[in-house]
Structure 1
Amino acid sequence: MKRSFKKIVYTVLALGAVFIIGTVSINIILKNKLEDFIKTRLPENMIRSYDDITVETFGGSLSITNASLIIRNKKNNQEHTFVNVEKLKISDISYWNYLFNEEIHIENISLESPTIAHYENRIEKNEDSRRNSFVSIYKPIIIENLKINNTKLAIFEKGKDSTKLYTKGLSVELDGIKIDKKTITQKIPIEYKTYKAKSDTVFVKLGPYENLTAKGFRIENRNAKFNDLTLKTKYSKRKLSRLITKERDHYNLSLNSVSINSIDFGFKHNRFFAKSTMISLTAPSLEIYRDKLVVDDLKTKPLYSKMLRDLPFELTVDSLKITDGKIKYEERQNAENMGGSINFENLNAEMANVSNTYKSPTKTEIEIKSNFMGKTPITVNWSFDVQNMEDQFQFRAEVGQLVAERLNSFTEPNLKVMLEGNTNKTYFTIDGNNTSSTIDMKINYSDFKVILLQKDGKDKNKFLSTIANIFISKNSEKKDEFYKEGKANATRNKSKSVFNFLWINVKEALIKILI
């Protein structure tokens, strides 16, 4: 009995020893194979290092601590991309699928606190960027879940103001990932089922003059929300005027939030597409300043229909909504002052079919309600067909009671003109295209008067004011008429904006009616 028990004990101990030795040996073999893969299978222009590799055969997992990767040009060895990861962990590797299904199947991959820095200006122009210059895919890779936590990402370009993109606290999670010989050659080299992401801070350099920032964003279930966005010119108004050689607007835009619903994007026939059922902008506040003393930019300014039509990608936005917006436009035309302004408050807008994928006769429809210069209600209906090559459009507006003096903040410093009186109700419709337009207007007004100022803008020019008011009809009422009506034509200056075109129409109609 004792001998039998001893044999059992010895057998169990022997099997245990074999199992332990076998497990340790397999761990060592797999670790050596992984180290060999890192040394031999990665391209020579990638410098890699790490502190330690841990392999757990029984649990089917491995981890790499303090891993780093440096990518350099093949020809001149200039280093341009730097990646550091505190810990990379791969869990639940399926050996069965690897041995019998000829695929690498992994349950989870996590990267903790990666830091990525990429220098665009260091990449050689003729550097081979084909997919096969990186890791070749010999077996399909299936990853059930990939998590990248607390990332710092920065992209730099040449120059003193070199930061092109920066984000911190970025976390991304992808489910249902597949990588194979087919996907690795595509524009987006992986396929996935779902994704979500979030970040604390985002900075994007939009060009030499403007920056975009957001305090944070979250994307989940194909819905995104960006908080506290700002788009600003990074120079003061005066400094921008000194730096530019041609006229350019100074911007200051802030938004409480931007929500994008049902996001879809990718490539179709090698052309990028982006879709959303609804984009909502909450409490946008936009200030635009234009210095007319700077030389005019005479290049052609396209209308919005052409801008959408000529986008280098397919855009489909079913609806776009603006809630509680503000717009202030300042214009400087005289050196002795900083110009005057007009403003819109309590602006609410709904837009349909903001897209270049819809076919004719589907139109982009814009409806706007706002208060102009304080208390004057204004309603706008604007429509155009993006696919119409002549850029035909219709712009209809209804303007409520306006005290003319409220416009003096703009007309007095810029035009040396003061206005008096009231417009009680104004309707107008503009039918136009890329070159010309027709406007129909009817207006009810009373006690209207124009006061022309001296060149210094301080004193009245009594003589010219008297002459001007001889030709201006003070009231719209005459006998049984309540509204005065007028029709005018306008020709577009294609070097000016669409709003300049609208203003020319209104001005021509007012001249017809008032004089």
Structure 2
Amino acid sequence: MLKKLLKITAIVLGSVLILIVLLNIGFSLWLKYKLPDYLKTKTPYEITYQSLNVEILSGSISANQIKVKTKQPNNLEALALEGSLGNLNISRLGVIEFLNNNQIEANSIKLINPNLKIRLAKPKEEKSKKNPIPFTIKNIEIEKGNIEIHKPDNTKLFSANNLNIDLKNLSLNQNPEELPFALDSYKISANQFYAQIGEVYSLNSSELKTVNGQLTINDFELKPLINFKNWEQNFKTQKTLFDIKSKSISFNDLVFNKKKLSFKNAQAVDPIFVLQNRDNKVVKSNKEKSNFNIDFENFDIKNGQFSILKSNGEKSLSLAKFNANLKEFVMNEDTSKNKIPFTYKDYKVSGNQFFYDAGKYYNMDLSSFEMSLQNIDLKNFKLKPKVSRAEFVRMIPMENDLFDISANRIHFSGINWKIENDKPNIKLKNARLTNVDANIFRSKIPKDNPKEKLLYSKLLRTIKFPLVVENLNLIQSKLVYEEDTPDSHGPGKVVFTYFNMDVKNLNSNKQKGVNTKVPIAINCKFMGVSPMKLDWNFNTADMRDNFTIAGNINDLPAVDINPFIKPYLNVSATGTITSLNFDFKGNNDIMNGKFKITHKDLKVSLLDKKTREKKKFLSAVVNLVVRKDSKQFPESVDVYVERNKERSFFNLFWKGIEDGLKKTLISINVDKVKENVEGVKETVKETKKKIREAKNNIRNNRLKKKGTQT
């Protein structure tokens, strides 16, 4: 029984095997003799070949000297092909699917010397129905190909000369949120490579190639297909138009996945980045969200250039040369939930000739800079006005400051920052500003700005995130404040040179455990000649904004304060103020304290408000009082001023100094002296009048006597 069963099984298997062999032979003969007629009558292409070999068991097909041409080149509904192939090898081809539906399903395909022009079919009008992918091939190999692919309107989508490709485990993808393809490994080389990226950009390269897993793209270009005006009108969801060039870009271990692009090392040599922004900053939101992931271990930019243009083509930011390195960059679905949608481990950036259009009134420049994860170093910083003072005053709607600031170096070190609850948390060990030259000009001609000027403790509290600067140092600097009023003849000026300032614990009162007391120590030369020391303290946690400020100025030539007191007090002085001491305390409402001044050989000149000429007689009388009273000054006088909340802290501080000067020096009984002098003047006038009357009477009497005698 068993022998009979085995015999039957052998007969059946043998019959099946013989049948398969016969089918293979028959199908091969059919392909050899009938396929040309089938291709001619059943497909939209004219296809010829020199030889054809088919193995039905393995599903392999090979042919050589193939020529293909579309029968109806004007039919945009069908895929158009034109060209030739030296050799074609396909393994595991789904023959039935190819013959019935023009779909290529195969394990691998190899094209040798293909010279093809391909025009894609016009998309079907039914929006709900997607066009099927024209082929499903896991492995593709092309040798020495020249290929062009066009849209139905003959717009070029892709082209490459001398194209060599070896793709392993390729899969295509129609999901717009993901990469259009994925693969396990690749090798590629080509000349004059071109590919359209979406509707806006094209990618160009004179040469690209892979060597030992590294892809190099020479003469890389990512450039717009349309001009800025058309882009601005037609792509409302995009904020910036890019134009990028590079001598070469290279990648190591580049990996494509449907949802991920990763590589170990990348380098761009001599890249030029040009970004142009639309004027309208409001960009229509794009509801399509991407969960696409990017990560790389190391990315270098060598000798790059960078520019951001306004819509009119003018530069709003430029960097003539820079080098950069970024390590362990990750952007994925998790990081996209954060305010900064990516993470990185470390970075370094250095550059030269940085320019920034800082708005309506200013330009900013740097000669060079270096930035890393924990340090920022800026050289030759400049913030310069675009307009003159007179133009600025005409342009501003209300009172404001005009700044002109430069610094040889600005250095931040010990930077530690992170994002918590969508807010930055910044801690800075040291901020060091060297050789700052700051000029601040304010005109009182425009109308007052009614907005409250916050004291510095409250101003720091308005920062909405934790900020701590442990040490802030201003070194060997110069500060100039100038103020112009409608009644003054030229701006009043206060100058601080050799200015050194040390600030501790600068903070926004948003971090637990941080010392919120802010001590500030200043040493400088007041008006460029006199030693000045100042100690200033406030506490950002104090809601009443209490502060103290105390200091002294020594050996001040009185002539050096004339640039400020002359325009406002109509007074000039000579001599020496040997010491000026103040000790004030205040809050958001008032400031009071002690003020003391001593002087030597001081002379005061009172000036006419209109002509600015010296009032000689009145000045002489005042100086008699000054000389008499100079040795009888009290130890100190009490100062009390109320804060105008529409003015700055320094306005309040100056008002305190001014009040002390008035009480001790500038206005020493001037009003009373004026009254006395005016009284003396009237008395002198009356006396002179009586003397003149007496002289006239005497002369008249003499004349009468002479007349009587004659």
With over 3 angstroms needed to count, the CA separation of the structure-2 counterparts of 1:365 and 1:474, relative to structure 1, is farther
Question: Deviation string for 1:56-80 (max 9, x for gaps)?
Answer: 3752545475231559979832574
Shift of residue 448, structure 1, vs aligned partner = 3.8
- CA separation of 1:340/1:426 partners in 2, compared to 1, >3 Å: closer, same or farther? closer
- SS at the partner of 2:550? strand
Structure 1 range deviating more: 201-210 or 461-470: 461-470
Which residue of 2 is the match for residue 128 of structure 1? 285
- Contact 1:120–1:156 (CA<8 Å) still a contact in 2? no
Aligned to 1:4: none
| Structure 2 SS opposite 1:200 | strand
- How many Å separate the matches in 2 of 1:64 and 1:39? 23
Question: Alignment partner of 1:27: what SS?
Answer: strand
Aligned length: 485
CA contact (8 A) 1:60 1:94 kept: no
Higher RCO (Cα < 8 Å, 6 or more apart): 1
Which consecutive unaligned segments of at least 5 residues does structure 2 have?
1-109, 113-138, 143-163, 182-195, 669-710
Residue among 405, 409, 429 paired with 1:277: 429
Letter in 2 for 1:442: K
Deviations 1:175-229 (A, max 9, x none): 1222322113322222211110011122223331122111110123622211111
561, 570, 584: which one aligns with 1:430 = 584
1:170 aligns with 2:322: yes
The one-letter amino acid paired with 1:85 is K
Q: TM-score, normalised by structure 1?
A: 0.82
Residue 377 of structure 2: aligned partner: 225
SS of match in other structure, 1:284: strand
Partner Cα separation in structure 2 for residue 226 and residue 344 of structure 1: 24
Q: Which residue of structure 1 lines up, in the alignment, with residue 243 of structure 2?
A: 83
3-state SS, counterpart of residue 509 of structure 1:
helix
Decide whether aligned partners of structure 1 residues 336 and 369 sit closer, same or farther in structure 2, where only a CA change above 3 A counts.
closer
Contact preservation (8 Å) 2:453, 2:648:
yes
1:43 is displaced (CA, Å) by 8.9
CA distance in 1, matches of 2:268, 2:555: 62
Q: Which is further off, 23-32 or 351-360?
A: 23-32
Contact 2:558 2:574 in 1 (8 A): yes
Structure 2 partner of 1:487: 638
Output the aligned Cα RMSD: 3.7
1:296 is paired with a residue whose SS is coil
What's the CA shift string for 1:402-441, capped at 9, x where partnerless? 1212111222244321123332122211111111111212
Would the alpha carbon gap of residues 412 and 506 (structure 1) be closer, same or farther in structure 2, given more than 3 Å must change?
closer
Cα deviation for residue 261 of structure 1 reads 0.5
Q: Percent identity at matched positions?
A: 25
1:374/1:67 Cα in 2 relative to 1: closer, same or farther (>3 Å)? closer
Deviation (angstroms), 1:235: 0.8
Tell me which of 159, 167, 173 is aligned to 1:29: 167
**Equivalents in 2 of 1:277, 1:462: separation in Å?**
58
Determine the C-alpha separation between the residues in 2 that align with 1:425 and 1:250.
32
In the TM superposition, 1:351-366 aligns within 5 A as: 351-356=503-508, 357=510, 362-366=516-520
- Given candidates 264, 268, 284, the residue that maps to 1:107 is 264
Amino acid at match of 1:136: N
1-side partners of 2:584 and 2:511: how far apart?
Answer: 24
The answer to whether the 8 Å contact 2:438/2:478 transfers is yes
Structure 1 segment 414-493 matched on structure 2, within 5 A: 414-462=568-616, 464-465=618-619, 475=629, 477-478=631-632, 484-493=635-644
Give the conservation status (yes or no) of the 8 Å contact 1:151–1:169: yes
Larger Rg: 2
Structure 1 residue 54 and structure 2 residue 212: aligned? no
Matches of residues 229-244 of structure 1 in structure 2 within 5 Å? Answer: 229-244=381-396
Kept in 2, the 8 Å contact 1:435–1:491? The answer is: yes
Match of 1:13 in 2: none
Per-residue CA distance 1:77-98 (angstroms, 9 max, x = gap): 2574113132332113479xx7
Over residues 446-477 of structure 1, what are the superposed CA-to-partner deviations in whole Å (9 max), with x where a residue is unaligned?
44443211134442124554665677685554
Q: 1:466 to 1:436 in 2, by over 3 A?
A: same
1:216 is aligned to: 368
Task: Please say which of residues 344-353 and 404-413 is displaced more in the overlay.
Answer: 404-413
Q: Following TM superposition, by how much is the alpha carbon of 1:34 offset from its aligned partner in structure 2, in angstroms?
A: 9.6
Question: What SS class does the counterpart of residue 325 from structure 2 fall into?
Answer: strand
Deviations 1:37-65 (A, max 9, x none): 99948995653422367353752545475
- Displacement of 1:23 in angstroms is 9.8
TM-score, scaled relative to structure 2 = 0.61
Q: 2:448 aligns with which of 292, 296, 301?
A: 296
Instruction: Tell me, yes or no, if the aligned pair for 2:306 and 2:321 is still in contact at 8 Å.
Output: no
Q: Quick one: distance in 2 between partners of 1:474 and 1:327?
A: 37
2:658 aligned residue: 507
Equivalent pair of 2:140/2:168 in contact (CA under 8 Å): no
C-alpha separation in 1, matches of 2:630 and 2:515 = 39
Counterpart for residue 102 of structure 2 = none
* 2-structure distance, mates of 1:328, 1:240: 18
Segments of 5+ residues of structure 1 without an aligned counterpart are 1-18
The match for 1:250 is 402
